[in-house]
Amino acid sequence: MGPRQALHHTQPSTLERIDDAVLMLVDDDSLNVDMVQAHLEDAGYRHFVTTSQSREALDLIRHHRPDVVLLDLQMPVVSGLEILGAMREDPGLAGIAVLVVTASIDREQRLRALGLGATDFLQKPVDPVELVLRLRNTLEAKAWRERLARTDLLTGLPNLTAATEHLQWGLTQAQRSGRTVAVLQVAVDSFGDVQALGAGAGDALLQELGRRLQNALRAADLVASNAGESPMLASDGGEAYTVLLPQIRQGEDAVLVAQRLQRSVSLPLECAGQELTPTCSIGISLYPTDAATPSDLFALARVALNQGRRDGHAQICCYAADMNARARQKLTLMAELRRAAQRGELFLLYQAKRCVPTGALVGAEALLRWQHPQLGLVSPGEFIPLAEESDLIVEIGDWVLREAVRQLGAWKAEGLSLPRVSVNVSAKQLRGPGLLATLDDAVRQDQSLATRLCLELTEGIMLQDDQAAAGLLAALCERGVQLSLDDFGTGYSCLSYLHRLPFHELKIDRSFVTALAEGNAPLVTAIIAMGRALGFRLVAEGVETEAQLQWLREAGCDEYQGWLTSRPLTPDRFARQLASANAGGDSQSCGP
- Residue 562 interacts, among ligand C2E, Mg ion, none and using kind-specific CB cut-offs from 5 to 8 Å, with ligand C2E
User: For helices 80-89 and 107-115, what crossing angle results, to 10°?
Assistant: 20
Shortest CB 582 distance to ligand C2E, Å:
23
Q: What 3 state SS string does 10-24 have?
A: CCCCCCCCHHHCEEE
- For residue 474, the number of C-alpha atoms closer than 13 Å in the C-beta half-sphere is 7
Looking at 397, 419, 531, 591, which residue binds ligand C2E (CB under 6 A)?
397
Mark residues 181-200: x for contact with ligand C2E by CB under 6 A, - for none. --------------------
The secondary structure of 447-513 as a DSSP string is GGGGGGEEEEE-THHHHS--HHHHHHHHHHHHTT-EEEEEEETSS---HHHHHHS---EEEEPHHHH
Is residue 568 within the footprint of ligand C2E (CB under 6 A)? yes
Is residue 407 within the footprint of ligand C2E (CB under 6 A)? no
Interface positions, 410-449, toward ligand C2E (CB under 6 A): 424-426
Looking at 113, 184, 265, 400, which residue binds ligand C2E (CB under 6 A)?
400
Q: With respect to Mg ion, which residue has the nearer C-beta, 302 or 428?
A: 428
Dihedral sign from CA coordinates of 187, 188, 190, 192: negative
Interface positions, 443-462, toward Mg ion (CB under 5 A): 456
Is residue 357 within the footprint of ligand C2E (CB under 6 A)? no
The DSSP H or E segment spanning 80 is helix 80-89
Cα–Cα distances in angstroms (integers) from residue 13 to residues 16, 20, 164, 490, in the given order: 9, 10, 13, 42
- For residue 255, the number of C-alpha atoms closer than 13 Å in the C-beta half-sphere is 22
Interface positions, 509-528, toward ligand C2E (CB under 6 A): 510
Using CB under 6 A, which of the segments 182-190, 249-257, 494-502, 562-570 binds ligand C2E?
A: 562-570
Interface positions, 3-32, toward ligand C2E (CB under 6 A): none
Cα–Cα distances in angstroms (integers) from residue 14 to residues 44, 166, 441, in the given order: 19, 11, 56
Is residue 486 within the footprint of Mg ion (CB under 5 A)? yes
Q: What is the dihedral of CA 117, 121, 126, 132, to 10 degrees?
A: -90
Shortest CB 439 distance to ligand C2E, Å:
14
Shortest CB 554 distance to ligand C2E, Å:
19
Q: Taking the CB of residue 97, how many other CB atoms lie within 10 A of it?
A: 20
Is residue 345 within the footprint of ligand C2E (CB under 6 A)? no
Using CB under 6 A, which of the segments 14-22, 206-214, 320-328, 535-543 binds ligand C2E?
A: 535-543
Q: With respect to ligand C2E, which residue has the nearer C-beta, 150 or 354?
A: 354
**How far apart are the C-alpha atoms of 414 and 542, rounded to whole Å?**
30
On whether the CB atoms of residues 212 and 264 are closer than 8 A, the answer is yes
**How far apart are the C-alpha atoms of 298 and 185, rounded to whole Å?**
8
Q: With respect to Mg ion, which residue has the nearer C-beta, 456 or 459?
A: 456
Angle at the Cα of 142 (from 64 to 26), degrees rounded to 5? 40
Strand ranges across the sheet with 316-318? 232-235, 240-248, 180-188, 280-287, 316-318
Rg of the chain's alpha carbons, rounded to an integer?
34
Is residue 379 within the footprint of ligand C2E (CB under 6 A)? yes
- Residue 481 interacts, among Mg ion, ligand C2E, none and using kind-specific CB cut-offs from 5 to 8 Å, with none
Shortest CB 49 distance to ligand C2E, Å:
57
Shortest CB 553 distance to Mg ion, Å:
21
Using CB under 6 A, which of the segments 6-14, 207-215, 373-381, 410-418 binds ligand C2E?
A: 373-381
The DSSP H or E segment spanning 123 is strand 120-123
Query: Under DSSP, is residue 375 helix (H, G, I), strand (E, B) or coil?
Result: coil
Shortest CB 488 distance to Mg ion, Å:
8
Q: What is the DSSP letter of 417?
A: P
User: For helices 321-340 and 392-413, what crossing angle results, to 10°?
Assistant: 40
Is residue 80 within the footprint of ligand C2E (CB under 6 A)? no
Is residue 487 within the footprint of Mg ion (CB under 5 A)? yes
Q: What is the DSSP letter of 168?
A: H
The count of chain residues that interact with ligand C2E, using the rule CB under 6 A, is 24
Mark residues 390-429: x for contact with Mg ion by CB under 5 A, - for none. ----------------------------------x-----
Is residue 487 within the footprint of ligand C2E (CB under 6 A)? yes
Q: With respect to ligand C2E, which residue has the nearer C-beta, 184 or 404?
A: 404
Burial 321-337 (b: 16+ CB within 10 A, else e): eebbebbeebbebbebb
Is residue 548 within the footprint of Mg ion (CB under 5 A)? no
Q: With respect to ligand C2E, which residue has the nearer C-beta, 237 or 434?
A: 434
Interface positions, 526-545, toward Mg ion (CB under 5 A): 541
- Residue 368 interacts, among ligand C2E, Mg ion, none and using kind-specific CB cut-offs from 5 to 8 Å, with ligand C2E
Shortest CB 261 distance to ligand C2E, Å:
28
Is residue 384 within the footprint of ligand C2E (CB under 6 A)? yes
Q: How many residues does the chain have?
A: 592
Looking at 81, 157, 367, 449, which residue binds ligand C2E (CB under 6 A)?
367
Query: Under DSSP, is residue 196 helix (H, G, I), strand (E, B) or coil?
Result: coil
Which residues in this chain contact Mg ion in the complex, by CB under 5 A? 424, 456, 486-487, 541
Which residues in this chain contact ligand C2E in the complex, by CB under 6 A? 351, 367-368, 379-381, 384, 397, 400, 424-426, 456, 486-487, 510, 541-544, 561-563, 568
